[in-house]
Every structure is written in C-alpha cells, then in structure tokens.
Amino acid sequence: MSLSDRLLVRTCRREATDRTPIWFMRQAGRYLPEYRAVRAKASLLEICHDPSLATEVTLQPVRRFAIDAAIIFADILLPFEPLGLGLSFQAGEGPVIAKPIRTEEDVADLPDINAEADLGHILEALRLVRAELSDDIALIGFAGAPFTLASYAIEGGSSRNFVKTKQLMYRYPEVWNELLGRLAAIIGTYLAAQVRAGADVVQLFDSWVGALSPADYRRFVLPHSTRALELAGGAGAPTIHFGTGTTTLLEDMAGAGSDVIGVDWRIPLDEAWRIFPDRAIQGNLDPTLLFAGERAIRTQVAEILRQAGGRPGHIFNLGHGILPETPIANVQAMVDAVHEPPR
C-alpha cells in the first residue's frame, strides 16, 4: 500500500473514506501495563535513545487496539539535548531544563543542530517502526511548536502562568523572535527528516499556546509556526497543528497552513469546523471522560461523530493526551464506539 492510500493520510487530505480514522495522543504511555514494564527497566530518555525500545513502545498500543496510526515514541523536548539545555525528567515534577534560555546571549549561544546527526535515534526508530508496522497503519511523527518549546526553555520546566516566557516576549521582542526563528527552523527540518524516515503525517504540538491572546498570537507566534509547518510540509506529508484552549486562536492557527487542525473538548467540533471549513479536523473527546462509565463514553463518541456529520476530513482523537491512570477497558470502549457507531 502506498503512503497516500492509508486511511489517516486520505482523511488529512479530506478525501471521502468509508470510516473515521482513530488514534490517541499519548496512546503509548503509563496507562498500559506493557509500557510500565518497559519503564521499570528504562527511563523516558533511555527509551528515546534506544531505537529498538522506542519501537517496542510505539507498537504497544497498535497491537492492543484497532487504531489507524502509530505515533513515534518521543518527547517534544528532545531537541533540547543537542541544544545543550540540560534536559532531564524528575519523578512527579515533569521536565527540568538545567540551563534555561533567558537572555540574548543564551539565544546566540545555541548551537546549530541537524536532525540527521543530532536526533538520528528518533529517525532510526521511525524506520524500525515503519518496517514492523502493518501496511495499512499510518506512522505519525511530531515536534513541539515554537511557542510551546520556547515556554519550556525559558521557564526551565512546566509553568502555570508563563510569566518568564511572556516577560521575554513583551520586553525583548527581538530576542524572542530570534529564539522562535531558531526553533522554527529546527522543528521544521526535524519534522521533514521524520517524513523522510517514514512518517506519513506529522503533528506540531503547540499544547500551551492557548495562554495567549489572539493579538499576541498573531504578533509573536504565528509567523514562526507558519515557518515550521512550511518546512515540514515541504517533505510532502500532511501536517496536523494542535493546541489546547485555542478557541479564539483557531482562525489564525488555520492561517499557519497545516492540513489538519486539532482541537480540544472546550469547543464543539462543528463550531470549530465552521471557523476553518477548508481543513481537516482532529479531536476532541475530553481525556477525563475515560474515567467515566462505558455508557457516558459511548454517548460522547456518538455526539462527536454527529458533530462531524460524516463529512470527509474528521480524525477521531482525544482533546489532549491519555492520562496515566486511565482504565484500559474504557479506551477499548471508546475505540469500539468509534468503529460501531449507533445506527
């Protein structure tokens, strides 16, 4: 089967298909016992550095569920390693960046990096996964978007209010633009390299961009996300552009040029689709609903499919990643509900 015949790819291109493709953000993760078994022996970064372990973990959810894509096991912050920012993950605390970016000098000191040389372990994992993956299953590559990556780099980790990030953005817009320009080039070429290594589709995660007003998004972020997507799209695979809390940004995000826009549960799918009718749409079940009973899950899946209205171009997904404590039976119930919608 050629790349362009896979269900997910055809849906990204808004071709008519006989069913709705399905995958989940963070589908390989802690809610799976087979993932926890690997993590008992290897840290997150060790898995990412070992293409055969990364391949194993990437394939786990595809073996378990009838889903239409594997997403390469990686972390959006991996480019921080060759950039020399001192990335680590502390139990219960999330990512820690030992050498955050705060000044013009910090930005100037960033080394040039090259995806083939510096993130080759991820590209190798993509090749291994593609070789093992059933022919009809798509392989998804991904990267963090310039704003979201910059927020981690500047804050030194996760953040609630993004004070340091916005402080740099508002006070030193030239430094900000220099940093986001560098990140956009890195991200865009990294995504293109993932396509060359076998990714059928690539997703740009701007998970935290919903912290911005539309005016700030247009001024400080849109040009850089546009550039990253342009570089990624040059490799020939469809692109997905995702964020949370983005209701007021969707029109501008569509302007960044991806084939697909991913939305969270805060906006009904049909309302979102009215904002960007010329793109495919991905979403949007609230991942916390997977802690409810099977009936509530089936009802909401049906509601999402009703909102999608059978139009070409809907990829079923959650509105954000699967949470670690999610019961597997409920993920299965969601998959079944998408495959067998009520008549």
- CB within 8 Å of 45: residues ≥ 6 apart: 75, 81, 87, 88, 89
Q: Work out how close the CB of 201 gets to a copy of itself at its nearest, in angstroms, rounded to a whole number.
A: 26
Q: Work out how close the CB of 330 gets to a copy of itself at its nearest, in angstroms, rounded to a whole number.
A: 11
Amino acid at the residue 169: M
Kindly state whether residue 177 participates in binding a copy of itself, applying the rule CB under 8 A: no
Query: What is the full DSSP assignment across 6-74?
Result: SHHHHHHTT---SS--B--TT-SSTTSHHHHHHHTTS-HHHHHH-HHHHHHHHHHHHHHS--SEEE---
CB 122, CB 78: distance < 8 Å? yes
Kindly state whether residue 167 participates in binding a copy of itself, applying the rule CB under 8 A: yes
* Catalytic status, residue 152: yes
CA atoms within 13 A on the CB side of 11: 27
* Catalytic status, residue 136: no
Q: Which is nearer to a copy of itself, 173 or 234 (CB)?
A: 173
Q: Which is nearer to a copy of itself, 138 or 267 (CB)?
A: 267
User: Phi/psi at 205 (nearest 5 deg)?
Assistant: -90, 105
Q: Work out how close the CB of 192 gets to a copy of itself at its nearest, in angstroms, rounded to a whole number.
A: 32
Return the residue matching tokens 């964020």.
243
How many residues bind a copy of itself, per CB under 8 A? 32
Kindly state whether residue 163 participates in binding a copy of itself, applying the rule CB under 8 A: yes
Residue 321: how many CB atoms within 10 A of its CB?
Answer: 17
Residue from 268, 328, 339, 341 in contact with a copy of itself (CB under 8 A): 268
Q: Rounded to an integer, what distance in angstroms lies between the CA atom of residue 255 and that of residue 3?
A: 26
Q: Rounded to an integer, what distance in angstroms lies between the CA atom of residue 69 and that of residue 135?
A: 11
Kindly state whether residue 91 participates in binding a copy of itself, applying the rule CB under 8 A: no
Kindly state whether residue 102 participates in binding a copy of itself, applying the rule CB under 8 A: no
Kindly state whether residue 303 participates in binding a copy of itself, applying the rule CB under 8 A: yes
CB 66, CB 339: distance < 8 Å? yes
Q: Work out how close the CB of 273 gets to a copy of itself at its nearest, in angstroms, rounded to a whole number.
A: 14
* Catalytic status, residue 30: yes
Kindly write out the interface string for residues 319-338 of this chain, putting x where it contacts a copy of itself by CB under 8 A and - elsewhere. Answer: ----x-x-------------
Q: Which of 6, 10, 26, 182 is catalytic?
A: 26
> Would you please indicate which residues are annotated as catalytic (active-site) residues?
26, 30, 39, 75, 152
Residues at the contact surface with a copy of itself, assessed by CB under 8 A: 161-163, 166-167, 170-171, 210, 212-216, 245, 247-248, 265-268, 271, 286-289, 291-293, 296, 303, 323, 325
